[in-house]
Chains A and B, each alone.
Chain A
């Protein structure tokens, strides 16, 4: 478990976090991902990178590029053939910072929150923000309301967005080179880009 004086990094990914030409907090932290822990218990997670394992900002970006590459590799395996690029691929656009102390300060009563080191193949720096329902009895709506509170809190806790284009994505600069990372809500858009391609990355 990470200590509350640590910093974590949330990777911004194209296309699922991009709306109206920006990656805004509500897209960077849109929802928890449901999965099972080692004991088979249901947990809800958000992927982040561990700050203490990054030597520099370049290292943070290198991690983000590896996150995207790993995701694309898994997707290609699932598909059984090469992915259409950029139509089916994921690309790293930069990172937001988040203090573990801010994560743990989220208002909560019905769920437990923690940040745990969770290395993945090729991603030793990978961590999860973990949300797990505790034993306090509550109605479904109370749990949902608390989840809204936590998501909103996490979005407001993001800071220092740092954009980046991976070396392997230079050929796609015309596609997403102008995308900005912002701490403001996404701007107005006439369309509703509900990306259906929202798996955990």
Chain B
């Protein structure tokens, strides 16, 4: 499916409007380009036009500019999602294709929004969880079934504060994802 798998030169994934009318790209809708150099990321996480969102991979020449630490973390996260999807059936970390695509869409939004790189783990075969270790809370974003579920957990008293579950193609998803802004850097990318 995703041609983004294990690309060493991915600088970002961008969501662009597409007239194919599908919210989730098929394999032949994922375009990769071998063009070098820097490109300006385009992000239209769409909201009201969500059904026309398509995933597009831009590939830059890795030799053109050394990636910074954050870029490497995001590269690792994209690779981790690909790896989770490529595990054979029966392996606990394996995730299905829909979940992998949705997780990469969300990750691309996080990436271009300047939000710090999260950690990542999967569970149940149909869920990818991004998490941020903040000062007093851990923040979790579960991607599953075409939705995003937000959860804050107080580290001291274990109290959980789940927020609403938001459809990835719904109008409010951009607002919710922008609220993720995590002030502290994640220590690593995969649990």
Interface residue A107 (Cβ < 8 Å from any Cβ of B): yes
Pairwise interchain contact B191-A149, C-beta atoms closer than 8 A: no
Interface residue A189 (Cβ < 8 Å from any Cβ of B): yes
Interface residue B24 (Cβ < 8 Å from any Cβ of A): no
Interface residue B80 (Cβ < 8 Å from any Cβ of A): yes
Task: Mark A13-50 against chain B: 1 for CB-CB distance below 8 A, else 0.
Answer: 00000011000101100111110000000001000000
- Whole-angstrom CA separation of A144 from B95 in the bound complex: 12
Pairwise interchain contact A30-B140, C-beta atoms closer than 8 A: no
Interface residue B92 (Cβ < 8 Å from any Cβ of A): yes
Residue in chain B with minimal CB distance to A16: B92
Of the listed stretches A3-11, A135-143, A173-181, name the one at the interface; the rest are far from the partner chain.
A135-143
**Residue in A33, A147, A192 whose Cβ sees the most chain B Cβ within 10 Å:** A192
Question: What is the interface of chain A, defined by CB distance below 8 A to chain B?
Answer: 19-20, 24, 26-27, 30-34, 44, 107, 139-142, 144-145, 147-149, 151-153, 156-157, 185-190, 192-194, 196, 198-199
**B74 → A minimal CB distance (Å):** 12
Pairwise interchain contact B80-A192, C-beta atoms closer than 8 A: yes
Interface residue B183 (Cβ < 8 Å from any Cβ of A): no
Pairwise interchain contact B140-A185, C-beta atoms closer than 8 A: no
Residue in chain A with minimal CB distance to B77: A192
Number of contacting residues on B, CB 8 A?
Answer: 41
Asked, given contacts A30-B121, A187-B188, A188-B188, whether A148 binds B142 with beta carbons under 8 Å apart, the answer is: yes
Pairwise interchain contact B151-A152, C-beta atoms closer than 8 A: yes
**A66 → B minimal CB distance (Å):** 22
Residues of chain B contacted by A198 (CB below 8 angstroms) = 91-93
A-B contact pairs, 10 of them (CB 8 A): A19-B191, A24-B191, A141-B144, A141-B146, A141-B149, A145-B144, A145-B151, A148-B129, A186-B191, A188-B188
Pairwise interchain contact A196-B87, C-beta atoms closer than 8 A: yes
Interface residue B162 (Cβ < 8 Å from any Cβ of A): yes
Known contacts A19-B191, A32-B124, A192-B79; 16 additional CB pairs below 8 A are A19-B190, A30-B121, A31-B121, A107-B160, A141-B142, A144-B124, A147-B124, A147-B127, A148-B140, A185-B119, A185-B191, A192-B189, A193-B190, A196-B87, A196-B91, A198-B92
- Whole-angstrom CA separation of A18 from B7 in the bound complex: 26
